[in-house]
Amino acid sequence: MTTARMIRLALSLTSAALLASCGGGGGGGTGFASLPAAATLAARCAAPRSGASPVTAAPYPDRLGGLLDEQNWLAAWTNDLYLWYSEVPYPTPANYSTTGSYFKVLKTSQLSPSGAPKDRFHFSQDTAAWEVESSTDLQIGYGATWSLSNASPPRHALVAYTEPGTPATTLSAALVRGASILRVDDVDLVYDNTTAGITILNAAMWPVSAGESHTFVVQDPGSSTTRSITMVSARFNSSPVQNVGTLAGGTVGYMLFNDHMASAESALINAVSQLKSAAVSDLVLDVRYNRGGYLTVANELAYMIAGPTRARGKTFEQLSFNDKHPNIDPVSHTPNVPILFQSTAAGLGTTTAGTALPTLNLGRVFVLTGSDTCSASESVMNGLRGIGVEVIQIGATTCGKPYGFYPTDNCGTTYFSIQFKGVNAAGFGDYSDGFAPQNGATSGLPADAILPGCAVADDFTHALGDPAEARLAAALQYRTNGVCPTPASLSAARMAKAQSSMDGEVHKNLFLSNRILKR
């Protein structure tokens, strides 16, 4: 079972060992048939909880059972709801000493067309931690989102972006995008590979509570010297929408959108209202670090971009479950009808439910992407393309997650097992290897996952929203003449290597890294 704070940095040898030990415990698949329905096995717990959830106030349903009961529930639940249930052999429970180790093998071992694991999104989390993460937009940390290249040495950690009014930005010399983190609490971040060092690095980079004091040696962008700073972790409300403004003489709108969280609803409404008042004729939507969150927020944003003429009454996304449940949503037990574009606010944050959404009424949108553009962010792109809005992609191939799940608690652990795929109004949802711009690395991708636009590396030498920042500059250039800034003589393979050389991975809590249907 994973914890609320996953290990972000790893020992290189340990990582290899973990990869080598992921198999084992096979079976022929026939054991699933002997199991009763998952509902009859639920909440039979080796260590039942008492009382009620402090977050939801719902009484715990737990009753005394055992490890085998929990494992049998996992097997029956997987066999009923997992999208690729037919690709899961029945693992013998006796071969696994914990529910966590058993759950890890209850997934497909098949590969995507690119050769990547088909299911890269299978995980579990302590229910108490999940409830806290998913019930508030409050974050704990310094207000700096790190972009990390390589979990093992040699590592490269940069500041991807910061939050206003947080420890990172209220220093006498604020941390800025592109600052490199070299040492943390006197541990070499780049090369240390000791267990003790990794423990210190993880604890300092991703604090789990407010009030923790840690020291960082940083090198600011453009500087040849380093400086030492001390930051104390704090609780803060992040700003999911930043840098809203106009470019190109006021004709192009820009916004940085980082998270599909509840507070993003009102922030996006305000941003679109501002750009609508400016009468922009184009929009650059920067979601390079947006890993996901509420699908409802993605739906609303797509509607606000497209407007009523193009979107009202049309399908934003249709969920597709496994072949045992062709017409019914097997979790909500309701008819599986298309999710239509939403023209009013859901009331997730401070906005009143039912408030009419402002619209830009655009026939195209420029989307700045990276490998962290994932899940709900990809739904925005796919949903718009389904109704004929042109999506022009500038940046790197997206993460490739057309899948989602209903988080499900059993005996104190919440399990996340892929249960559905989302397709757009045109019936497309096969982007498991991501969306890619047409001049990037597109080998093996279906035609509908290859978009007009340009492969461009992330540029940490300029602020996000600066017209000189490489991806934004490429979008503005492509808008003007349809030409990418990369020389035509550069091969797709070299271009893909160049675009990925500066693209690290940002780490966010699990809620903000997934496609969540319900609050």
Q: What angle do CA 277, 281, 287 make, to 5 degrees?
A: 90
Residue 301 lies in a domain: yes
Answer whether 219's CB lies under 8 Å from 182's CB: yes
232 & 260 share domain: no
CB 124 within 8 A of CB 413: yes
The 3-class SS string of 320-358 reads ECCCCCCCEECCCCEECCCEECCCECCCCCCCCCCCECC
- Say if residue 312 is in the same domain as residue 445: yes
pTM as predicted: 0.89
* Residue 349 shares a structural domain with residue 486: yes
- Measure CA 346 to chain center: 21
The answer, yes or no, to whether the previous bond of 154 is cis (omega within 30 of 0) is yes
Domain count, the chain: 3
One pLDDT digit (tens) per residue for the chain, 519 residues: 333 333 345 543 332 222 222 333 333 356 898 899 999 999 999 999 999 999 889 999 999 999 999 999 999 999 999 999 999 999 999 999 999 999 999 999 999 988 889 999 999 999 998 888 777 778 899 999 999 988 789 999 999 999 999 999 999 999 999 999 999 999 999 999 999 999 999 999 999 899 999 999 999 999 999 999 999 999 999 999 999 999 999 999 999 999 999 999 999 999 999 999 999 999 999 999 999 988 999 999 999 999 999 999 999 999 999 999 999 999 999 999 999 999 999 998 789 999 999 999 999 999 999 999 999 999 999 999 999 999 999 999 999 999 988 899 999 999 999 999 999 999 999 999 999 999 998 999 999 999 999 999 999 999 999 999 999 999 999 999 999 996 544 444 444 444 344 467 887 765 565 656 654
251 with 360, same domain?
A: yes
> Cβ–Cβ contacts within 10 Å for residue 452, how many?
17
Amino acid making up residue 466? D
Kindly state whether residues 94 and 176 are assigned to the same domain: no
Q: What does the angle CA 431 – CA 434 – CA 436 come to, to the nearest 5 degrees? A: 115
- Cα separation, 158 vs 149, in Å, equals 9
Which amino acid would we find at residue 515?
R
CATH number at residue 198: 2.30.42.10
Last residue of a domain, one of 93, 110, 127: 110
By residue range, what is the domain housing residue 19?
Answer: 12-110
Report the CATH number at residue 453. 3.90.226.10
The last residue of one of the domains, among 217, 237, 257, is 237
User: What contacts 231, CB < 8 A, 6 or more positions away?
Assistant: 142, 167, 168, 171, 213, 214, 216
Interhelix angle 295-306/264-277, nearest 10 degrees:
10
Q: Rounded CA gap, 284 and 385, in Å? A: 16
The answer to whether residues 215 and 248 belong to one domain is no
Residues 35 and 97 both lie in one domain: yes
